[in-house]
């Protein structure tokens, strides 16, 4: 099978302009990249909520496009997934034919438990092939998966179970963090006990590293289930039917269930593999992320397979498994063409191997480029990588909500755009990015403002929030009518390069993990000794940002500050998980506020980062900022 990308004969400017001038026509043309049960007759139409939906009358199956069609077209013996786990000391290569057998088998197992089109299935698994198999099996049945990152604790899992209301939860007996076995089943048990209406069935993939014994009756063993069931065929679904829900942090404690549809997602991701990453069928792509995050959904599980490539599934860290040469070893072993990772991962590598001795130890000649996302690629890391590898270092910007890059250096469309340190280069075709001031006017080049995308959003982007369309409108569409609000701040320079400078809301990015300081504040405030609090993200050299809490205690509280701090740290660890990296909670007498009572978080952040700040004219008590400055001067955060 050859995937012919219409539209790639043009340069970037023509492609981009066409995508904006006539989006429906542009994307209808790209629909030919995938196989349809019923091909769409039109590119887009508004749904009942007034949201533009892609391929409204198209019918397809995403799993068929990711697996079956490649088998039918002669790629049966090509490796679909390389699994590489330094932590489990395990490796395997799964061909497209084997993947088809495993996915169809597990889909049959799900069906035997009553899972049908439109039912939800929560997948709480570590980075093992069965996680991807479970996702694809849901897609095969037209069921909607919701993967929960394995680092989340019981309360976070429970919140997602309560919102998605799945029929089944699929899990594994354990995950492995470097040399530590994380038993999943106590977490699952606790989450199921919290949820009012727990799923009917629990499927457990048993790993040899765990001592867990499957609770026959409630639990079904993965292998037994497949043995007892018939393989399932693909179920055709509407292009606009949901493929998955992925929860992400918003500004409150309740995570937002980002909905992804089938048709737009399949087309956009297939196109992106060539347009953005310059990949061809048969080549090896590695996104060093986790299936629990959007990067893992899009570029470990779906896009490489939709495009007939080979995907690497790596269960390990960039360092300590066993050393900072881990990434380069994997590149050499599987002849990886494109490696996609978070800047924080390379900062960790640079810290351990600043001179790049381990890089030189491996043959990385297969690499065509490095792509980075998840947070801004800081110029020092950019320069270090460029100097070390002599490869194009591509920063590209995207969000869980969009599912693929809003801005990138699209090497598959036009090569040779120079990169600029700190910039994600140009908007991807389909994304009409603009920078607005507070009044909603477009600002001139070099001036920072709110980064927005003029509607319609291209295929692949979210059409709603699961079960809460009002929240979708409120969070993204209402602030600047006609535009999608990204929540990021940034600017275009004179050459049209886009610079994304950071969030303008309560979302922070800790080691490539998107977290909500609002959620942490709710947890800190729930401590019986705390009267009020603020949590801000401060800059961290390795992890990008780290959360720091500030709490005012209720009068009469007799606990000492250290004790409260310890309890608050433990509380956040228990309710969100260690990945929150919440390790400082400072007890203060008061919080700096405006006269209307708004906590001055942005100013607090500047003080904590040692940046200049202007005393807000609306401040209630300037002494509160002076106190904070004095307190922070004596702290290492
Ligand atoms: N299951 C259980 N616990 C997990 C976990 C998981 N899947 N992932 C992380 N944790 C835990 C860690 O064990 C650690 O716990 P500890 O505080 O008890 O030691 C804590 O969460 C923090 O983890 P992490 O932030 O990953 O720190 P680290 O020091 O182990 O690793 C990096 C630092 C930079 C190497 C690592 O964060 C990394 O590779 N980040 C990239 C993330 C990424 O790919 N994001 C996707 C965007 S593209
Ligand atoms: P997530 O939804 O977890 O992918 O996180 C999305 C957020 O991460 C964005 O809104 C940005 O704040 C940040 N982000 C991701 N990639 C980049 C990038 N290349 N440059 C700057 N910020 C980024």
pLDDT digits (tens, 9 = 90+) for 437-478: 999 999 999 999 999 999 999 999 999 999 999 999 999 999
Q: Which of 373, 396, 539 has most ligand 2 atoms within 8 Å of CB, for mutation? A: 373
pLDDT in the model for residue 3: 36
DSSP, residue by residue, 507-551 = EEEETTEEEEHHHHHHHHHTSTTEEEEEEEEEEETTTEEEEEEEE
Burial of 202 (0-12, 13-18, 19+ CB in 10 A): buried
Which residue's CA is the closest to the ligand 2 atom numbered 13?
A: 375
- For ligand 1, which residues put their CB under 6 angstroms from it? 150-151, 175, 177, 182, 289, 293, 295, 317-319, 342, 344-345, 348, 373-374, 511-512, 578-579, 581
Look at residue 583 and tell me if it is in a domain.
Answer: yes
Residue 328 lies in a domain: no
Residue 398 Cα to ligand 2 midpoint, Å, equals 5
**Nearest ligand for residue 248 CA:** 2
- Whole-number Å distance, alpha carbon 397 to ligand 2 midpoint, is 6
Domain boundary among 281, 316, 351: 316
Give 579 Cα–ligand 1 centroid separation in angstroms.
Answer: 6
Task: Answer whether 511's CB lies under 8 Å from 543's CB.
Answer: yes
| 41 burial level (CB within 10 Å; 0-12, 13-18, 19+) | exposed
Q: Which ligand is nearest to the CA of 319?
A: 1
Identify which ligand lies nearest to the alpha carbon of 295.
1
Q: How far, in Å, are 3, 14, 525 from residue 10 at the CA level?
A: 17, 6, 55
- pLDDT of 6 reads 42
Say what the pLDDT of residue 118 is.
98
> With b meaning 16 or more CB within 10 Å and e meaning fewer, what string describes 230-257?
ebbebbbbbbbbbbbbbbbbbbebbbbb
pLDDT of residue 212: 86
Q: Is residue 274 part of a domain?
A: yes
Residue finishing a domain among 291, 316, 341: 316
Ligand 2 pocket check for 399: Cβ under 6 Å: yes
In a domain, 611, yes or no: yes
> From the CB of 490, is ligand 2 less than 6 Å away?
no
What whole-number distance in Å separates Cα of residue 3 and Cα of residue 8? 12
Query: Domain end: 316, 350, 370, which one?
Result: 316
How high is the pLDDT of residue 227? Answer: 97
Three-state secondary structure call for residue 20: helix
| Domain assignment of residue 340, yes or no | no
Write down the mean pLDDT value for the chain: 95
Interatomic CA distance for residues 454 and 442, integer angstroms? 11
Residue 404 lies in a domain: no
Angle between helix 154-164 and helix 561-575 axes, rounded to 10 deg = 40
Residue 419 included in any domain? no
Q: What residue numbers bound the domain in which 628 lies?
A: 511-633
In a domain, 201, yes or no: yes
- The atom number, within ligand 2, closest to the CA of 509 reads 8
By most ligand atoms within 8 Å of CB, the mutation choice from 248, 250, 371, 500 for ligand 2 is: 500
DSSP labels, 557-592: --S-HHHHHHHHHHHHHHHT-GGG----EEEES---
**How many domains does the chain fold into?**
2
Distance CA 637, CA 635 (A): 6
Give the position, in ligand 2's atom list, of the atom nearest the Cα of 372: 19
Does the Cβ of 373 fall within 6 Å of ligand 2?
yes
Quote the pLDDT of residue 251. 67
Angstrom distance (rounded) from CA 161 to CA 191: 8
- How many CB atoms sit inside 10 A of residue 265's CB? 27
Q: How many CB atoms lie within 10 A of CB 101?
A: 16
CATH number, domain at 619? 3.30.300.30
CA atoms in the 13 A half-sphere facing the CB of 278:
21
- Does pLDDT of 4 surpass 70? no
Tell me, what CATH number does 267's domain have?
Answer: 3.40.50.12780
Percent above pLDDT 90 for the chain: 88
Phi-psi region of 390 (alpha: psi -120 to 50; beta: other; left: phi over 0): left
| Interval 412-437 mean pLDDT | 95
The three-class DSSP label of residue 156 is: helix
Residue nearest to atom 20 of ligand 2 (CA): 376
Instruction: Evaluate whether 126 touches 134 at the Cβ level (below 8 Å).
Output: no
Q: Is the CB of 344 under 6 A from ligand 2?
A: no
């Amino acid at each position: 099978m050859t995937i012919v990308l219409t539209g790639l004969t043009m340069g970037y400017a023509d492609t981009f302009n066409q995508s904006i001038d006539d989006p429906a026509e542009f994307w209808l043309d790209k629909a030919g990249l995938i196989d349809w049960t019923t091909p769409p007759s039109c590119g887009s139409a508004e749904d009942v909520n007034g949201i533009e939906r892609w391929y409204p009358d198209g019918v397809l199956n995403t799993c068929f496009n990711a697996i079956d069609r490649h088998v039918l077209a002669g790629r049966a013996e090509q490796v679909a997934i390389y699994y590489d786990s330094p932590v489990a000391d395990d490796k395997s290569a799964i061909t497209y034919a084997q993947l088809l057998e495993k996915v169809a088998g597990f889909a049959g197992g799900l069906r035997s438990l009553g899972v049908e089109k439109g039912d939800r299935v929560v997948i709480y698994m570590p980075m093992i092939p069965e996680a991807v198999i479970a996702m694809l099996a849901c897609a095969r049945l037209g069921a909607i998966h919701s993967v929960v990152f394995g680092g989340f604790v019981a309360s976070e899992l429970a919140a997602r179970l309560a919102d998605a209301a799945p029929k089944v939860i699929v899990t594994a007996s354990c995950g492995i963090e470097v040399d530590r076995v994380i038993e999943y089943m106590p977490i699952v048990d606790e989450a199921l006990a919290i949820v009012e209406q727990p799923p009917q069935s629990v499927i457990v993939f048993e790993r040899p590293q765990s001592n867990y014994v499957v609770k026959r009756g409630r639990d079904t063993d993965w292998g037994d289930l497949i043995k007892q069931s018939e393989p399932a065929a693909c179920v055709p679904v509407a292009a606009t039917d949901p493929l998955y829900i992925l929860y992400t942090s918003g500004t409150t404690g309740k995570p937002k269930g980002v909905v992804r549809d089938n048709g737009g997602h399949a087309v956009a991701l297939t196109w992106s593999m060539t347009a953005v990453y310059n990949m061809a069928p048969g080549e090896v792509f590695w996104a060093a992320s986790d299936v629990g995050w959007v990067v893992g959904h899009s570029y470990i599980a779906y896009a490489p397979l939709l495009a007939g490539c080979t995907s690497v599934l790596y269960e390990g860290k960039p360092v300590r498994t066993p050393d900072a040469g881990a990434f380069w070893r994997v590149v050499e072993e599987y002849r990886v063409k494109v490696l996609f990772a978070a800047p924080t991962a390379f900062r960790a590598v640079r810290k351990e191997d600043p001179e790049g001795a381990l890089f030189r130890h491996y043959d990385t000649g297969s690499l065509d480029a490095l792509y980075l996302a998840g947070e801004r690629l800081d110029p020092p890391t950019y320069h270090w990588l460029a100097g070390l590898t002599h490869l194009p270092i591509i920063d590209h910007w995207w969000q869980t909500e969009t599912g693929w890059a809003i801005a990138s250096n699209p090497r598959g469309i036009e090569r040779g755009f120079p990169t600029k340190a700190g910039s994600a280069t140009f908007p991807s075709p389909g994304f009409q990015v603009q920078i607005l001031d507070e009044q909603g006017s477009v600002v001139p080049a070099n001036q920072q403002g709110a980064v927005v995308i003029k509607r319609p959003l291209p295929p692949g982007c979210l059409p709603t929030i699961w079960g809460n369309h009002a929240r979708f409108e409120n969070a993204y569409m209402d602030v600047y009518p006609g535009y999608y609000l990204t929540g990021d701040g940034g600017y275009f320079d004179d050459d049209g390069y886009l610079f994304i400078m950071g969030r303008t809301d309560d979302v922070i990015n800790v080691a490539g993990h998107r977290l909500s300081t609002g959620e942490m504040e709710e947890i800190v405030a729930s401590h019986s000794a705390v009267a009020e609090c603020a949590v801000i993200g401060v800059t961290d050299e390795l992890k990008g940002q780290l959360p720091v809490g500030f709490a005012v205690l209720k009068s009469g509280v007799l606990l000492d500050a250290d004790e409260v701090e310890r309890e608050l740290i433990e509380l956040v660890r228990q309710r969100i998980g260690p990945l929150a990296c919440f390790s400082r909670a400072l007890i203060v007498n008061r919080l700096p506020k405006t006269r209307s009572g708004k906590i001055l978080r942005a100013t607090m952040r500047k003080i904590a980062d040692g940046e200049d700040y202007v005393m807000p004219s609306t401040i209630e008590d300037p002494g509160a900022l002076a106190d904070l400055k004095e307190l922070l001067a004596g702290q290492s955060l």
